[in-house]
Amino acid sequence: MKYHVKSEGPNQKGFLKGLEHAIKIAIDNGSNEVALAVHSKSNLSGTIQDVLDETFVKQLKKDGVINYKGIKIFLLTEKIQSGFESGVILACHASGRYLVKLINDYRATDIVYVPWHPDEVAAYLEKYDSQEIVL
């Protein structure tokens, strides 16, 4: 199933809501895996790092995976496919072809989309049936 957060830009609350929802889905469906998908490692700086903290992000960049309360959170980028096997893809600020690639990823049980720009979420909603995650 597809979900989206109606937020834009560097919105900490929007990212956190998306992450919380992705973790809840991963627990509910028993996969216990979430792939945090960004275009590149540099996209972890700023909003994501502010929410997760610098130590968390450094370890995620270094190891590509973190165990968080029984959930494996994997780093997924356009160049890093990671050890993610099956679970929820949290598509953070992904756009264009990369977003389509994530949506079509065979490992995704669900997609949680956190857009950057309002036009991106509008285009996403034109193509896909998605449930809004309320802030």
Q: Count CB atoms within 10 A of the CB of residue 89.
A: 25
| Predicted pLDDT at 67 | 94
3-state secondary structure of 71: strand
Specify the pLDDT at position 19: 97
Judged against a pLDDT cut of 90, whether residue 130 lies above it is answered with yes
Strand boundaries in the chain, DSSP class E: 2-5, 33-37, 65-68, 71-76, 87-92, 108-114, 131-133
CA distance 72 to 74: 6
pTM listed for this prediction: 0.95
pLDDT digits (tens, 9 = 90+) for 91-120: 999 988 999 999 999 999 999 999 998 888
- Residue range 2-133 in CATH 3.40.50: yes
Q: Where are the domains of the chain?
A: 2-133
